[in-house]
Amino acid sequence: MDFELLPNLVTFFPLVGVLILFFIKPENKVLIRWVSLLTALATFGISLVLLQQFDANNPALQMVTNLPWITVADWNISYYMGVDGLSILLILLTTFLTPISLLSTWSAIEEREKDFNIFFLMLEVGMLGVFMAQDLFLFYVFWEFTLVPMYFLIGIWGGPQRIYASIKFFLYTMAGSLLMLLAILWLGINQGTFAVPDLIALGGIPAGIQTWLFLAFAIAFAIKVPMWPLHSWLPDAHVQAPTAGSVILAGVLLKMGTYGFVRFNLPLFPEAAVKFAPMMAGLAVVGIIYGAIVSYYQRDIKKLVAYSSISHLGFVMLGLFALNSQGIQGGILQMINHGLSTGALFLLVGMIYEQTHTRNFDVYGGLWKIMPVYGTVMLVVTLSSMGLPGLNGFVGEFTILLGAWGAGMPGEVLGSYWYAGLSAIGVILAAIYMLYMYQKIFLGPEGSIVQTVKEHGHVLRDLSVREIITIVPLLVFIFWIGLYPKPFFALIAPTVDNLVKVLQAAMMH
């Protein structure tokens, strides 16, 4: 019986905003916006206190809350929350991106704003719960719960194909998680507990069964990541979601999948993880190259960014399944990097879309002259996304490639340099498609869109103050991680080293 207020406060604080919103009239839009923005900012503030209380040198779970929840008839389900090096950065990413996304909706969402904000804050609760939960059942509850608000966000405020996209998103994710549910039940019944740290300490799952359990968890997470070939829901969901939804979807929801791999698959089934590492890394490499090639052929900016996510998350997966310290650390940092860069990209796409109502970049061109600030910001984010040294993407990808190279040495888990070698091609391809898109939009002769906008009686304007406020925090971190990533790695490293020890023991077998 432990209780620590802070993690619970972070997780459930957005509900305070939801409660207040219930009592505000839907017409009072200004108040609604401020209430939810301030709630999200306060949550971010509390999570900073959490960071300050967090002991980076301690690899174990910290600030643990562990209360019995369902304990009848041999059930051993507990309300078990805690923070460690694997989750601290993702928690901060969530609380950081939520207010930014909310701020971006002030001009984008005009209909039923109150309900939008309620769903959004509820989504934040679900996501934070996913990263905090240390009991498999509790995790499952949060994991499934995130589907509901996201489903509404896409289905109500999305683009023309929103209903199709939202149902596809829901069913795909649910298909995976149901198999995971059976695996969770199997673990709970046979190991007598649902608590993840206890299950890891207990160990002793026979290798044959580990295979099945690993697969059941892996399918659930691989759909969420998404890994090739389970990715087909992602372009639809991303393209149809409203901007803020895309930011959170790319920034945080996809990370729930990769996080699931590090949190559950690797430590719970280490032998199976070693066995499947070449396969998972192979799929990751396919995803990297496939995502990059498909991105190149997109004409819809949002779709391009969506497919580039498949490529970037391939890097994360490659790093994780290198099963060494560098790979996993790089993978976790790259989760954050992708959240920042892709989040920023979606925001920027949303900003131009609000003015032009098209995302087809064939009609764009020469925007640099008209929108120099926008062009500069976009350039930084584009370069960050393709991994230019000095910006955040490079740090993550480089560390991952180092890890994959190390794991590729003879006798190591991957046992071939091809993984690292081929995925390096993905970096080059990223430069091609990102720069191609940038060039199409900002350089060259003025595109037809400028004329179209004029015909509608508008003039393309540069970023507004609010938009700059939305994007600057992301830029700060893009530079910070790119130039001085040490404090970030310091948060992750001790826990990852602990995990690697477990994995190395499994490799000996």
Partner 1 sequence: MNQADFQTLLPVIVLTVWAALLLIVDLFIDKEKKGITAILAAVGLALTMGISLSQTGQTSLGFSEMVVLDGFSTFVSILLLFSGLMGISIAYGYLKRMGIERGEYYSLILFSIVGMMLMTQAADLIVVFIALELLSIPLYVLAAFANTNASSEESGIKYFLLGAFSGSFVVYGIALVFGATGTTAIAGIAATAAAGTANVPLMLAGSALILVGFGFKVAAVPFQMWTPDVYQGAPTSVTAFMAAGAKIAGFAALMRVFSTAFPSIATDLTPVLAVLAALTMIVGNVAAIAQKNIKRMLAYSSIAHAGYILMAFVAFGNPALVDDAISAAIFYLVAYAVTNFGSWAIVISLEEKEGKGLALDDYAGLWRSNPLMAVAMAVFMLSLTGIPPTLGLIGKIYLFRVVVEGGFIWLAIIGVLTSLISAFYYLRLIVIMFMKDGEPKTTPEGWLDLTWGAMAIATVVFSFIPMSLFAWASEALMK
Establish if 137 lies at the interface with partner 1 (CB under 8 A).
yes
Establish if 144 lies at the interface with partner 1 (CB under 8 A).
yes
Establish if 155 lies at the interface with partner 1 (CB under 8 A).
yes
Q: Which of 92, 97, 165, 181 binds partner 1 (CB under 8 A)?
A: 181
Q: Rank residues 145 and 296 by Cβ distance to partner 1 and give the closer one.
A: 145
Establish if 148 lies at the interface with partner 1 (CB under 8 A).
yes
- The interface with partner 1 within residues 41-70 (CB under 8 A) comprises 69-70
Establish if 179 lies at the interface with partner 1 (CB under 8 A).
yes
Helix or strand run (H / E) with residue 327: helix 325-356
Count of residues interacting with partner 1 (CB under 8 A): 34
- The interface with partner 1 within residues 270-299 (CB under 8 A) comprises none
318 torsion bin: left (phi>0), alpha (psi -120 to 50), beta (else) = alpha
Q: Among the candidate windows 161-169, 196-204, 282-290, 387-395, which touches partner 1 by CB under 8 A?
A: 161-169
Establish if 182 lies at the interface with partner 1 (CB under 8 A).
yes
| Count of residues in the chain | 509
Establish if 432 lies at the interface with partner 1 (CB under 8 A).
no
To partner 1, the closest distance from the beta carbon of 148 in angstroms equals 6
Q: What is the DSSP string of 80-118?
A: EEEE-TTTHHHHHHHHHHHHHHHHHHHHH--SSHHHHHH
Q: Which of 178, 425, 472, 483 binds partner 1 (CB under 8 A)?
A: 178
Q: Torsion angle of alpha carbons 178, 184, 190, 192, nearest 10°?
A: -140
CA distance 244 to 97: 9
To partner 1, the closest distance from the beta carbon of 15 in angstroms equals 12
CA-nearest of 400, 426, 431, 434 to 285 is 426
Q: Rank residues 68 and 444 by Cβ distance to partner 1 and give the closer one.
A: 68
Q: What is the DSSP string of 261-276?
A: IIIIIHHHSHHHHHHH
CA distance 394 to 308: 15
Q: What is the DSSP string of 117-181?
A: HHHHHHHHHHHHHHHHB-BHHHHHHHHHHTHHHHHHHHHHHS-TTHHHHHHHHHHHHHHHHHHHH
Q: Among the candidate windows 58-66, 174-182, 227-235, 488-496, which touches partner 1 by CB under 8 A?
A: 174-182
To partner 1, the closest distance from the beta carbon of 144 in angstroms equals 5
Establish if 162 lies at the interface with partner 1 (CB under 8 A).
yes
Establish if 163 lies at the interface with partner 1 (CB under 8 A).
yes
Neighbours of 93 (CB within 10 A): 24
Establish if 490 lies at the interface with partner 1 (CB under 8 A).
no
Q: Is 78 helix (H, G, I), strand (E, B) or coil?
A: strand
Establish if 14 lies at the interface with partner 1 (CB under 8 A).
no
Burial class (CB in 10 A: 0-12, 13-18, 19+), 257: buried
Helix or strand run (H / E) with residue 65: strand 62-70
Establish if 151 lies at the interface with partner 1 (CB under 8 A).
yes
Establish if 19 lies at the interface with partner 1 (CB under 8 A).
no
The contact set with partner 1 (CB under 8 A) reads 69-73, 75, 137, 140-142, 144-145, 147-148, 151-152, 155-156, 162-163, 166-167, 170-171, 174-175, 178-179, 181-182, 185-186, 188-189
